[in-house]
Chain A
Amino acid sequence: MQLLFVGVGLLLASGLVCLMLSRRPRAVAIVGPAGAVAAALLGIVPALRVVGGEILPPVQWAWSVPYGSLTLALDGLSAWFLIPVLVVGGLAAIYGARYLGSYARYKALGPPWFFYNVLMASMIVLVLARNGMLFLVAWELMSLASFFLVMFEAEQESVRRAGWIYLVATHLGTAFLLALFVLLGQQAGSLDFALFGKTGWVGGRAGLLFLLAIIGFGTKAGFMPMHVWLPEAHPAAPSHVSAVMSGVMIKMGIYGIVRTLTFLGSPAAWWGWVLIAIGLTSGLLGVLFALAQHDLKRLLAYHSVENIGIIALGLGVGILGQVCGSPVLALLGFGGGLLHVLNHALFKALLFLGAGAVAHGAGTRDLDRLGGLLRRMPVTGVTFVIGAAAICGLPPLNGFVSEFLVYAGALHGIASLPVSVMLSLLAVVPGLALIGGLAVACFTKAFGIVFLGEPRTPEAAGAHEVDLSMRLPLVLLAAGCVGVGLLAPLVVGMMAPMLAAVSGVDATATGESLAGIRSLLGQVAASAVLLLAVIAFLAACRRRLLAGRPVTSAPTWDCGYAAPTARMQYTASSIAQPLIRLFDVFLRSRLDLSAPRGYFPQDASLHTDTPDVFQEHLFQPTLRAGGRLLAGLHWLQHGHVQVYVLYIALALLAALVWKLG
C-alpha cells in the first residue's frame, strides 16, 4: 500500500513540476512521463502481490469533509483493475513523451502532462477508495482531468464540441452516481463501503440501486445508448490519452458496477437479463457503427463500445449463475467479463497507440487518405495486426480467451439450467458470434485500407516509422496480448481469489470449478502453440522457397489498365458496403452520390456519412426541446450584476427564514 501512496504522491508532484516548467518542453517531456512510469513500477508490486493472494490491511485516516473518510484498501478486485491502470498508464506515458513533442512548438506541454498524471493518480485512488465521498471526489477528478486532456487541441471547433459533449455526458452520469451513493448511505448510515456490504438490501430498493449504478457507471463505461460521448471524445484526445481513456478509464465504470454488485448481495434474475440486453445492444450496434466509420480513431472508439458490451455480457451471465446457484456459470461469466477488462485494456491501448503512430507518421487518420503503410511502418503494422486479431477474439491471442470463457459459460448454462434462464443465454451465444464476425470484417477493413494496398495520398506515401520510444510501448502491449493468450490457464488461476470474492462462491468450490476450465484452457493454449508453430513453419518455408529468387514489385491489377492509380482500390466505404446495406435499418447511413452520366462522364462523386443514431434521434431532439423550454427563463439573465447578487441574497435569506421559521 505504501508503495502505491508513494506512487500517487510522485504523480501529483511530477504533475505540478510540469505545470511550473511549462515553458521548457524538453524538461516537461522527461518529468511528466518519468513520474507516471515510476508510479506504475512502484504500484505494480503491491497490485501483483494482492492478485497473487496476499491480503493487505486497509488504511484509514480522518478527513474533515462531511461523511468522508480517507479509507483505502487493496483487495483482489481493486488490484485487478489497478493492473491495467498502471500498465497502460505507464506505457502510454512513454509513448506520449515523443507524441506530444511534435506539438511543442506552438503549445504549452505542462498542462497536458499535469492532467495526465492527475488522471492516473485519480484512477489509482478511485479503485482503492472505500468511502463514497472519496470515491466520488476521485471520480470527478478523473472526469475533469480527462476533459482537459480531450480539450488539448481546443483551438479546433470539432475538439471543443467533443469536449463539451463529454463534459455534459460525464456529469449526467455523476448525477446518477450521487443519487446512488445518497441512497446507499441513507440506509447504511454511513458512506463507508464496509457498511454498505453489511446492510441487507431487499427487492425494490436493491433493484433501484442497481439501475442507478447501471446508468451512472454505464455512462462512463459507454453502454448504449449512453455511449454518445465516446466516438466524439476519443478521436479528439491525443492518441496516448485515447489509449488510457478507452483502455482504462471507461473500465472504471465496469469497476463501479462490479463493486456495487458486491454491496447489493444476492442479485435478481432480471439484473442479469438487463446486463445481457445491454451487452448485446452495445456489442452489435458498436461493431456495426465501427464498420461504417472513416476515421481510424472513431472506428476504434466504437469498438470500445462493442467490447464494453462483451464485458457486460460476461457480467450478465455471471449474475445469472449467481441467481441459479451454479458456481461454474457464475465463475465463467464474471471470469470472462473481468478478464476481458484486462484484455481490452491491452489491445485497445495497443490499437489506439498504433492509430496515433499512423496519424503521426502519415499526418491523417482518415482511412481514405492512407494505404500501403505496412512497408513504410513495419513495426506499427505488425503490432496493429496483432491487436486487431486480439480484438476480434481470434486465437491464439488474449481476446479469444475471455470470449471463450463467456461462450463456455453460456453453453454450460444452456445445457444445465431451467428453460426461463436458458433462453437469455441462448441469445448470448449467437450474439457473441455475430459480434466477433463483424469485428473481423471491421478490422479487415481498417487494417486492409490503412496498411495494405498502395498509398492513396503523397502524405501516406511519405509516411515514416515512428521513434523507438513510441515503438517500444507498441511492442510491449503486443507481447502482452500474445502472453495472456498463451498463458491463459495461469492467468485464470491467478483470478481465482478475486472471482471467489466477486461471485460469492467459496474458495474451495472456486478451485474445483476453475480446475476444469483451466485444463480446457490448457488445451486451447497447446493448440495455440501448435498454430504458432505452423505459422512459423510456413514462414520458414516461404523464406526458403524465395531464397535466391528475384522478388520484384509490379502494379496491382496489372491486367489491361493502362494507367492504374491508387484511387482504383477499395475505399473504406466500398469494402464495408455489403454489410452496411444489410444492417441499414440500424445504421441509417447517409449516401451522397452523384453518379457518372453519359458516355463520357465529366465528374462523379460519392460521400457516405454515418452519424450516431442515438445522438441524432434521441439526445439531440430531447436536449433541443429542453433548451427551448428553458429559453423561457432567459429574462432572468439580463446582465445586471446587482440583480444577480439580489437573487443570491434573496435565496439565502429565504433558506434561512425557512429553516429558522
Chain B
Amino acid sequence: MAAWVETLLILLTLTNLTLVAMSRLGACIRTVALQGIVLGLLTICVHPHTPSLYVLLLAGGSIGLKSVVFPLLLGRAMRDTHIRHEIEPFVGYGVSILVAALALPVSFWLGSRLPLPRPASTLIVPLAFHAILTGLFLIVSRRKAITQVLGYLVLENGIYTFGICLVQESTLLVELGVLLDIFVAVFVMGITIFHINQEFNHIDTDRLSALRD
C-alpha cells in the first residue's frame, strides 16, 4: 500500500508542477480536477486495512466536490467571462516552474523538522507542504481571478493531504471545516468574478488597485 500512497503523492506533485507551467485555463481546471481524484484515492490508500464507510464517504465527497462540482462551476465562470488564457502572469512560466521546483527542497527541509507522529509515508508531509506553497505561489503570481481560485483549491488540497496524515479520529472535523471553506470560497469567488467582470469588463485583479483607499 505504501507504494500506492507514494505513487499518488508523486502524481499530486507532478500535477502541481504542470499547473504552474500551464497557461490555458481549461487545462488548468482539468488538472485541478485530476488532483481531486488523486486525493480521493489517497484517502482510501492511507487507511489501508479497513476502508470503512467513513473513509469511503470522505473520498467520495472529495472526488465529487473537487473533481466534478468545482470544475463545472469554474468552467462556467470561464465561459461567462470569455477568458481562455492566463496572459502575462506576473511571473513567467519558465521562472514559475523553477520556483515550484525550488519549493520542493524547502518543503522537504520543513517536513524533516516538523515534530509530527510518523505518517503512512515519509513523503506525505513534505509533499503536502509543497502543494500548499504551490497554491500560495499561484495566488501571488497570477492575474486572473479564476487562476487565483485554482491556486486556492491547490492550497486547500495541500492542507487536506496534511490533514489525512495526522490523527485519524479528528479528520472528520478538519474535513468538514475544509470542505465548507472551499465551498464558500468558490461561491464567493464565482460571484466576485462575475461581478468584477460585469463592472469592469475584465477579471484582472491587479487592475482593481484603483479601489484602494
Contact = CB atoms under 8 A, between A and B. Distances in A.
Interface of A: 637-643, 645-646, 649, 653, 656-657, 660-661
A661 B136 contact: no
A4 B90 CA distance: 59
A661 B206 CA distance: 35
A639 B136 contact: no
29 contacts: A637-B212, A638-B212, A639-B208, A639-B209, A639-B210, A639-B211, A639-B212, A640-B205, A640-B206, A640-B209, A641-B148, A641-B205, A641-B206, A642-B140, A642-B141, A642-B142, A642-B206, A643-B140, A645-B136, A645-B140, A649-B133, A649-B136, A649-B137, A649-B140, A653-B133, A657-B110, A660-B113, A660-B114, A661-B113
Contacts of A640: 205-206, 209
Interface string B170-213: 00000000000000000000000000000000000110111111
Contact of B140 (A637, A646, A661): A646
Contacts of B205: 640-642
A656 B133 CA distance: 13
B209 A638 contact: yes
Given A642-B142, A646-B140, A637 B213 contact: yes
Interface in B89-115: 90, 110, 113-114
B108 to A, nearest CB: 12
A656 B90 contact: no
Interface string B124-143: 00000000010011011111
Contacts of A642: 90, 139-143, 148, 205-206
B138 to A, nearest CB: 10
Nearest to A649: B136
B40 to A, nearest CB: 27
Contacts of B143: 642
Given A640-B205, A649-B136, 5 more contacts: A638-B209, A639-B212, A641-B208, A660-B113, A661-B113
Contacts of B208: 639, 641
B140 A660 contact: no
Nearest to B213: A637
Q: Give me the 10 closest cross-chain CB pairs, A-B, nearest first.
A: A639-B209, A639-B212, A660-B113, A649-B136, A646-B140, A645-B139, A641-B205, A642-B140, A645-B140, A640-B206
A646 B114 CA distance: 23
Nearest to A648: B136
B20 to A, nearest CB: 15
B19 to A, nearest CB: 16
Interface in B115-162: 133, 136-137, 139-143, 148
Contact of A660 (B110, B133, B141, B211): B110
B113 to A, nearest CB: 4
A657 B148 CA distance: 25
Contact of A656 (B110, B140, B206, B213): B110
Contacts of A649: 133, 136-137, 140
A653 B129 CA distance: 11
A364 B143 CA distance: 54
Contacts of B206: 640-642
A8 to B, nearest CB: 27
A642 B140 CA distance: 4
A638 B212 CA distance: 7
A646 B138 CA distance: 10
Contacts of A660: 110, 113-114
A645 B151 CA distance: 11
A642 B148 CA distance: 9
Contacts of A656: 110
Max chain A C-beta neighbours (<10 A), residue from B136, B141, B205: B136
Contacts of A638: 209, 212
A66 to B, nearest CB: 16
A645 B213 CA distance: 18
A336 B139 CA distance: 62
A640 B205 CA distance: 7
B173 to A, nearest CB: 11
B147 to A, nearest CB: 10
A302 B113 CA distance: 59
Nearest to A639: B209
A461 B142 CA distance: 68
Contacts of B210: 639
Contacts of B209: 638-640
Interface string B68-100: 000000000000000000000010000000000
A656 B113 CA distance: 10
A299 B161 CA distance: 61
A602 to B, nearest CB: 48
Nearest to A657: B110
A336 to B, nearest CB: 50
Contacts of A639: 208-212
Nearest to B113: A660
Nearest to B141: A642
Nearest to A646: B140
A659 to B, nearest CB: 9
Contacts of B137: 649
Contacts of A645: 136, 139-140
Interface centre among A638, A642, A646 (most CB of B within 10 A): A642
Nearest to A638: B209
A258 to B, nearest CB: 40
Nearest to A643: B140
A646 B213 CA distance: 20
A332 to B, nearest CB: 55
A250 to B, nearest CB: 33
Contacts of B133: 649, 653
A641 to B, nearest CB: 5
A544 to B, nearest CB: 73
Contacts of B141: 642
A164 to B, nearest CB: 15
Nearest to B152: A645
Contacts of A657: 110
Nearest to A647: B140
A632 to B, nearest CB: 15
B54 to A, nearest CB: 22
Contacts of B148: 641-642
B162 to A, nearest CB: 13
A645 B114 CA distance: 24
Nearest to B112: A660
A640 B207 CA distance: 8
A501 B142 CA distance: 64
A641 B136 CA distance: 12
A656 B115 CA distance: 12
